[in-house]
A and B are shown apart, each in its own frame.
Chain A
Amino acid sequence: METICLPLAPSHRARLVSAGYRTLDSFNNLSPLDLARDIGVSSEEALDILKVAWRTKAIDGNSPKGANLLAGAKTAWDLLCEEKTMKRIVTFCEDLDVILGGGICRKEVTEVGGVPGIGKTQLGIQLAINVQIPVDLGGLGGQAIYIDTEGSFMVERVCQIAKACIEKLKDIPCTSERKVEECHTKLKVDDFLSNIFYFRACNYTEQIAVINYMDKFIEERDKVKIIIVDSVTFHFRQDFEDLALRTRLLGGMSQKLMRLAEEYDTAVVLMNQVTTKFSGGSFQLALALGESWSHACTNRVVLYWNGDNRFGYIDKSPSLQSASAPFSITTGGICNLERNKRIKMA
């Protein structure tokens, strides 16, 4: 471990490095007085520095040092076994679920992008509802966090989709047979609403603050299974003169979101807007926030119009084939395209 990684004041850090204290080991058997003399600070300050170094060292020393397996390591085999048992969050559009490998995956960051009106917010609300499908009915029985930056979250719409969801669930047989009636009658729209935690972020500072706060919030509520940010882009597309600052902030935010997804077994869904990009002599639609942001997600789903139909396309994924599937949005939320037509004919 190097001295530059220690949480110290930059001036102290610079003095330590120039006096030769580059690694933590160089603090071994050192008295505060010696250190104070060597780097020219008061002995109290030197003692503080040593305390920091000792504490860091104690934490390091406690971590188990196995032959190959260091702290926090998992083998691919463990991960595969874990993944097989992990339930996914369905979208209620079977075609979309198929190309997503069964739904939105937990522990991963999924970015959803598309033109205005394509249904990003609708998909977000649908997922916030679907994550709550009880375990008895094959769902996760979780809770959702909805971070709204655009003000597009409509409670009326959530009610509609929740009602439709309850209707749909009536067709699904209950896995534990003894209380079929019970688990259907238990479903209430109000419960669906009370299990969505809604945050409204009005500028980018608030947005970052909310994401930083998530750790504490989720620790208190371990049933949170999905975090939806709708949209991650909005505040970062305006009033940003310092583009380098924007890249740094976005980079830091994406690392935090990934850590949240990993640590708390939640799915993270980020909505993104589109922009035009000049490439190959013509302007093409591309997702906003630029090149470095494009690495911020595990999976990316691009929603687009094809004729009169909405389509979803897997643009990036480490394990899924790139493929596209149609979906449709009705009063009851997201569903398959065919079913929609049947309703129209009836």
Chain B
Amino acid sequence: MAPLRALNLPILTRQVLQFLAANGILSVEDFLVHDIYTLAARTEHQTNSEVLKQAIAEILSFIDSQHSRWLNGAQLLENLQQTVHVLPTGCEGLDSLLGGGLLEGTLTELVGPSASGKTQICLRAASHIAYHSQAAVMYLDTCNSFSSKRIAQFLNVLAKSSIKSKDQQGNIERAMKGIFHYNVFDVYSMLDLLYQIESSMQTQGKNESSRVRLLIVDSVSSVITPILSGSNLQGHSLMISLGVVLKKLALEYSIAVLITNHIVVDKTGTSKPALGESWKSMPHVRLLLSRDPVSNICDMSLLKHTSMVCDQQASLSLNS
């Protein structure tokens, strides 16, 4: 949490801050975990005890006023039904598995071995959502796997299927101009970029027409793997802050976030999603992909979902 000074309260004069610092209180967090009554008792020995007591009371009331509004279940349900949209990805199997598509405000993770169809689903979702919702899509690419050609293929199919629109080529061009692609090759630039996205959203507000509705990170594990090790706590904390930032972006700006993750094989030979136990809690929805190399059909199963039954299966053909 922020230092007390950052609260910018007029009552926080130099003497007050010095007194608090002498008691080991520097940040808001320190203040909150400190026993306020002991602190108040300590002020008795000071010359300016009245001012100090008043300062403590003011900080407390200021912090109290900062909490967000309580919402009850009924309000949350109303929110969900009225303002949260479901974004269809265009992959029938996936959409039926997820109850319609990607949900705004949630983090959906695709897990699978190499060439199992993760990037294909990402590209297809990007083109489908850019085409139908006329919204901006951010595509953070960490493994050079974005293919504009493939996007164009998907969009061509979409344009052909919707006969009523006249200006097919124009629609394709508009959709393609709504997909923003970034190359990111390490976790630091990834975090940087996410903060930039956040600050640009803040200034932009909720402008409905050109709003970002989908954020794709393909893949998260490529940037995390080089820094993650048992003895390196820094790497671990970077991974967690990446997850937190993604979740925060998703929730505060109601964006659907789609990320991909790799598979690792443990000592017993069973394969499991990469990045370990602490990452497991980050995505709201987790899907396991595998591809049959002969038929080119991608099988999906639901590993984790906050509101649906897990272990359901679906399949998807990867051919155009």
Contact = CB atoms under 8 A, between A and B. Distances in A.
Contacts of A319: 147, 149-150, 153
B191 A5 contact: yes
B262 interface: yes
Contact of B225 (A72, A74, A248, A261): A248
Interface in B271-307: 271, 274, 293, 296
Interface in B10-29: 21, 26-29
Interface residues of B, number: 82
B3 A20 contact: yes
Interface string B214-244: 0000010111011111100010011001000
A72 B256 CA distance: 22
B120 interface: yes
A255 B221 contact: no
Nearest to B225: A251
B144 A245 contact: no
12 contacts: A1-B192, A5-B191, A68-B210, A70-B193, A74-B182, A75-B177, A75-B180, A77-B177, A80-B152, A109-B144, A318-B119, A318-B123
Interface residues on chain A, size class: 35 or more
Contacts of A69: 180
B92 interface: no
A283 interface: no
A38 B3 contact: yes
Contacts of A2: 191, 195, 241
Contacts of B123: 318
A319 B186 CA distance: 24
Interface in B116-165: 119-120, 123, 126, 130, 136, 139, 142-153
Contacts of A292: 221, 225, 262, 264, 274
A65 B200 contact: yes
Nearest to A262: B183
Contact of B120 (A80, A298, A318): A318
Interface of A: 1-2, 4-5, 10, 13, 18-23, 25-26, 30, 34, 37-38, 60, 63, 65-77, 79-80, 83, 107-109, 244-245, 247-249, 251-252, 254-256, 258-259, 261-262, 278, 290-292, 294-296, 298, 300, 315-316, 318-319, 321-322
Contacts of B204: 67-68
Given A37-B21, A65-B199, A318 B145 contact: yes
Nearest to B197: A70
A43 B229 CA distance: 34
Contacts of B76: none
B144 A248 contact: no
Contacts of A256: 185
Central interface residue in B4, B21, B192, B197, by most chain A CB within 10 Å:
B192
B2 interface: yes
B241 A295 contact: no
B182 A291 contact: no
A39 B130 CA distance: 48
Nearest to B173: A77
Given A5-B192, A76-B148, A321-B319, A300 B223 contact: no
A75 B142 contact: no
B306 to A, nearest CB: 27
